[in-house]
Amino acid sequence: MKPDYEVMTRKELKEHLLTHRTDDEAWSFFFEKLSKLDANQGYPPDLSDQEMERIFREKLNQ
């Protein structure tokens, strides 16, 4: 019986991949899920510390 990757947490999926390294379907799902998470971040990766702090404070005050 194959696991339901949709309901697995990221940690559970990583653990599954460590024990089932040849599970191509799991790897595909992992990278698809990972790319969706990265695409939805909404902030560029090269923000300065000051800009990150401004954004965090703004979010905390909402």
The angle that helices 10-19 and 24-39 make with each other, rounded to 10 degrees, is 150
Q: What is the pLDDT of residues 11-42, one digit of tens each?
A: 898 899 999 999 999 999 888 876 665 555 67
The domains of the chain are located at 10-60
Predicted pLDDT of residue 44? 72
Predicted pLDDT of residue 35? 65
Q: What is the dihedral of CA 44, 49, 54, 60, to 10 degrees?
A: 90
pLDDT, greater one: 6 or 43:
6
pTM of the predicted model as reported, rounded to 2 decimal places: 0.54
